Amino acid sequence: MKPAAPSEPEEVVIAVMGATGSGKSTFINIVSGSHLAVGEGLKSCTSKVETVNTFELFGKLVTLVDTPGFDDTTVSDTDILKMIAAYLSSTYQSGYKLSGLIYMHRISDFRVGGISRRNLSMFRKLCGDETLKNVALVTNMWSEVTPERGAAREHELRTDDLLFAPVLQGGASMLRHDGTVAGAQAILAHLAGNRPRVLRIQRELVDEGKDITETAAGVELDRELAAMRKKHIEQLAEIQQEMEQALAEKDELTRKELEQVRGELLQNIEKIESDRDRLSKEYAQEKAKADERVRQIQEDLEAEKAAREERQQEIARLASEMENNRNLHARERENMQRQMEDLKRRSRRRGLFSMVGGAIDSLFGL
């Protein structure tokens, strides 16, 4: 984060990541008093990077960033990586770093399936090992399990080398979220004091000038897509065999059903191939849009800074008038005091993230 002047509250930015439906938006709403959409059914809810209005906590200006989980039901992983990467690289280029990252995990999941593992591996590739000190692995939905079962799962998550163990060894912490405002604030307090660090994807894209397909997250995504494609091609071969058998047995109904499955598989394969191809090209477009928007926001910030300085001069003028003119009428004095309070309130500094508010949503959305 950009250093603030001594009298100004420090700006802290924390991103919340995790699988779709893990409770990211709910957590943010609880602690920030925002109204982000929360999922009700099986469908994913957040499909873009969103920042919520900045709020003050423990004397700091906190901005939380909501992200869509990988394996979203409506947006492809390629689009999600593209959005998250554009957001992180544009803001980093403007001098902003994250103070913390929360990785949300439902303790109520009776087993950690492929989706959670994929999200965790993408998360690790985005962060890199050097940032792990700024990571909190947060378990939630404790009300959905008995304390014994929850504790047993927590232990498993903590000790399994395919789950949280390597992340914890790298310096991350594991915390429980009990669903309350105070609990969520305690989690933020744990992260808010951290030294902001550069994420691996930011270093790769900005400092090393890598193409997104060459970043650890880009390579991981491509590996996932390649594995998925391979699985589909194997399934296709099986279906083809079954279709031949159905043809030989003159089983028209089965053959037709298989034909439909075959069509779906072919479509999936085509989509995977296009997803692999378009990451690099579309990232460049997304990044250009993001850069332009961040540039505009910074211009607005500059204008706001100039206006703030003017207000501060006005405050100083009013203060000295009150000081020097002891004969002021009580009502006049009260009036001037009110004006000063108003000017002070309007002079509060806002950083890039607080300035962005909802504006950045439209930029990083689809």
By the rule CB under 6 A, 143 interacts with ligand GTP: yes
Burial class (CB in 10 A: 0-12, 13-18, 19+), 42: exposed
- Backbone phi and psi for residue 225, each to the nearest 5 degrees, phi listed first: -65, -40
Q: Which of residues 279-308 bind ligand GTP (CB under 6 A)?
A: none
By the rule CB under 6 A, 44 interacts with ligand GTP: yes
By the rule CB under 5 A, 46 interacts with Mg ion: yes
CA gap 239, 262 in Å, rounded: 7
DSSP alpha helix (H) spans, 325-358: 330-346, 352-356
Residue placing its CB nearer to ligand GTP in the complex, 49 or 61: 49
Q: Give me the amino acid identity at 266.
A: L
Residue placing its CB nearer to Mg ion in the complex, 48 or 82: 48
By the rule CB under 6 A, 40 interacts with ligand GTP: yes
Among 15, 16, 17, 45, binds Mg ion (CB under 5 A): 45
Among 4, 38, 174, 198, binds ligand GTP (CB under 6 A): 38
CA gap 64, 53 in Å, rounded: 8
Among 10, 14, 21, 128, binds ligand GTP (CB under 6 A): 21
- Which whole-number Å values give the CA distances from 73 to 77, 83, 345, in the listed order? 10, 16, 43
By the rule CB under 6 A, 122 interacts with ligand GTP: no
Among 68, 128, 183, 218, binds ligand GTP (CB under 6 A): 68
By the rule CB under 6 A, 46 interacts with ligand GTP: yes
Residue placing its CB nearer to ligand GTP in the complex, 25 or 78: 25
Query: Binding pattern to ligand GTP, positions 154-193, x when CB under 6 A?
Result: -------------------------x--------------
Residue 26 touches which member of ligand GTP, Mg ion, none, C-beta under 5-8 Å by kind: ligand GTP
Range in contact with ligand GTP (rule: CB under 6 A) among 23-31, 202-210, 232-240, 321-329: 23-31
Query: Binding pattern to Mg ion, positions 178-207, x when CB under 5 A?
Result: ------------------------------
Residue placing its CB nearer to ligand GTP in the complex, 139 or 301: 139
Q: Are 305 and 346 in contact (CB under 8 A)?
A: no
Encoding tokens for residue 138?
Answer: 């947060």
| DSSP conformation class of 108 | T
DSSP alpha helix (H) spans, 160-249: 165-169, 181-192, 200-202, 216-248
By the rule CB under 6 A, 20 interacts with ligand GTP: yes
Burial pattern 220-245, b for ≥16 Cβ within 10 A else e, equals bbbebbeebbeebeebbeebeebbee
Cα angle 220-223-229, degrees, rounded to a multiple of 5: 145
Q: State the CB neighbour count (10 A cutoff) for residue 31.
A: 25
Q: Which residue is nearest to Mg ion (CB)?
A: 46
Indicate the pairing of strand 11-18 with strand 50-51: unpaired
Among 1, 10, 13, 26, binds ligand GTP (CB under 6 A): 26
Residues forming the site for ligand GTP (CB under 6 A): 18, 20-26, 38-40, 44-46, 68-69, 140-141, 143-144, 179
